[in-house]
Structure 1
């Protein structure tokens, strides 16, 4: 196992002081990099662990923050912050860009070889960076079949992979259809994987606070979705050094 280096990074975004989790792979040379967006509850050990797993594979990884260092375990508090955010593409892009600037400023990062992945709200932010025309090598999302402002998906210049649970009430078939129509009309290289029987948040291990209806962990599909994301990165952003 390679030795990775982790550190907390503070940076301003959305009128808050964000605290991201930056992980560097072994070695000294420049590497491709991955931005990782968390679920609406905020940055947790799940996303930190995924950043570390990607660093083991040779990527520089930054799991970014949504709520100024807080994890919103209360669903009502989380929705009160995230619903207005999800309705405001410019705010989402601001949060994404602030994290992207931190990642690009890291000397180990090859700034021309960056991908963005994300879960829920963090995945919506990754998609908005693509819709803004940010130069990314890949976008991967889980539970984030959000659609954007008309015509802007045509600015997405990289492959997009999205995963969703078949029984996700927050991303129902109508939302899937809208996302597919947007990607297809824009000429995006897109893929959608539907995981049979899975609910919203199926990738996220069970947490110790109240779980809202329609949300649940599915261990097998969680592993499959992670493999699908790694495969996307291997294809679009290979580690060559």
Structure 2
């Protein structure tokens, strides 16, 4: 296994002191970088392990915080914070930009090769960064297919990959269709993968606290979604590639490590 370095990073956002998890690959050279956004419950060891796995693949990775260092295991407390947040694109963008600034300021980060990948609320934040015109090379969102304010998707400057479970009650077919219509109308290079039989948060291993209805882990699809994310990053962050609108043709390059951990 490749030796990586990790550290806790603190930064202000949304009136809180956020506590992120930065993972650095071996070496001292500049590397492509990935912003990793968590589900609505907040940053946990799941996202930290994902950042670590990305660092093992050679990326600088920052798993960002949503709740000022807190993990909201109570579903009602999580919904009470996340539902207003999801209704305020500018707040989400503020949280995303604060984390993106930390990642961009890291000496190991290649500022010209940064992607944002998020899950649930973190995925919506990644999309809002794109709708705000952030300089990203790729956006990936799992379970976070929220549509944005009219016309703002035209500011997205990179390919968008989205994954969702076919039985996800939070992201039903009507929501998926609205999202894809928004992307298509804006001329975005988009892809949507629907994982058959999967519910909401199918990628997230079981937790030891109550969950909202419609949530269940699907190990096989969790691994497939992780491989799809890794493929997206390899396609868009590999040195010498041009992955902006319009996207460069050709198949993605599949890295050989880290794809079976999730």
Structure 2 length as normaliser, TM-score? 0.91
Counterpart position of 2:128 = 128
- For residues 46 and 74 of structure 1, the distance between their equivalents in structure 2, rounded to whole angstroms, comes to 17
- For residues 212 and 158 of structure 1, the distance between their equivalents in structure 2, rounded to whole angstroms, comes to 33
Counterpart position of 1:64 = 64
Counterpart position of 1:83 = 83
The Cα shift of 1:211 comes to: 2.1
- For residues 210 and 74 of structure 2, the distance between their equivalents in structure 1, rounded to whole angstroms, comes to 8
Counterpart position of 2:255 = none
Counterpart position of 1:150 = 150
Q: Residues 202-231 of structure 1, C-alpha deviation per residue, up to 9 Å, x if partnerless?
A: 000000011221000000000000000000
Q: Give 4+ residue runs of structure 1 displaced > 2 Å after superposition.
A: none
- The aligned runs of 1:1-241 (5 Å cut-off) are 1-238=1-238
- For residues 196 and 93 of structure 2, the distance between their equivalents in structure 1, rounded to whole angstroms, comes to 31
- For residues 136 and 75 of structure 2, the distance between their equivalents in structure 1, rounded to whole angstroms, comes to 32
Contact (CA 8 Å) 1:132, 1:152: kept in 2 or not? yes
Structure 1 length as normaliser, TM-score? 0.99
The Cα shift of 1:239 comes to: 5.6
The Cα shift of 1:182 comes to: 0.1
Q: Residues 69-105 of structure 1, C-alpha deviation per residue, up to 9 Å, x if partnerless?
A: 0000000000000000000000000000000010011
Contact (CA 8 Å) 1:104, 1:111: kept in 2 or not? yes
- For residues 211 and 202 of structure 1, the distance between their equivalents in structure 2, rounded to whole angstroms, comes to 12
- For residues 193 and 65 of structure 1, the distance between their equivalents in structure 2, rounded to whole angstroms, comes to 26
- For residues 7 and 132 of structure 1, the distance between their equivalents in structure 2, rounded to whole angstroms, comes to 29
Gaps of 5+ in 1: none
- For residues 212 and 100 of structure 1, the distance between their equivalents in structure 2, rounded to whole angstroms, comes to 29
- For residues 192 and 201 of structure 1, the distance between their equivalents in structure 2, rounded to whole angstroms, comes to 16
The Cα shift of 1:112 comes to: 1.1
Gaps of 5+ in 2: 241-262
Contact (CA 8 Å) 1:58, 1:239: kept in 2 or not? no
The Cα shift of 1:189 comes to: 0.2
- For residues 161 and 224 of structure 1, the distance between their equivalents in structure 2, rounded to whole angstroms, comes to 13
- For residues 105 and 190 of structure 2, the distance between their equivalents in structure 1, rounded to whole angstroms, comes to 29
* TM-align CA RMSD: 0.7
The Cα shift of 1:29 comes to: 0.3
Aligned residues, how many? 240
The Cα shift of 1:238 comes to: 1.5
Residue aligned with 1:46, SS: helix
Contact (CA 8 Å) 1:86, 1:92: kept in 2 or not? yes
Contact (CA 8 Å) 1:59, 1:239: kept in 2 or not? no
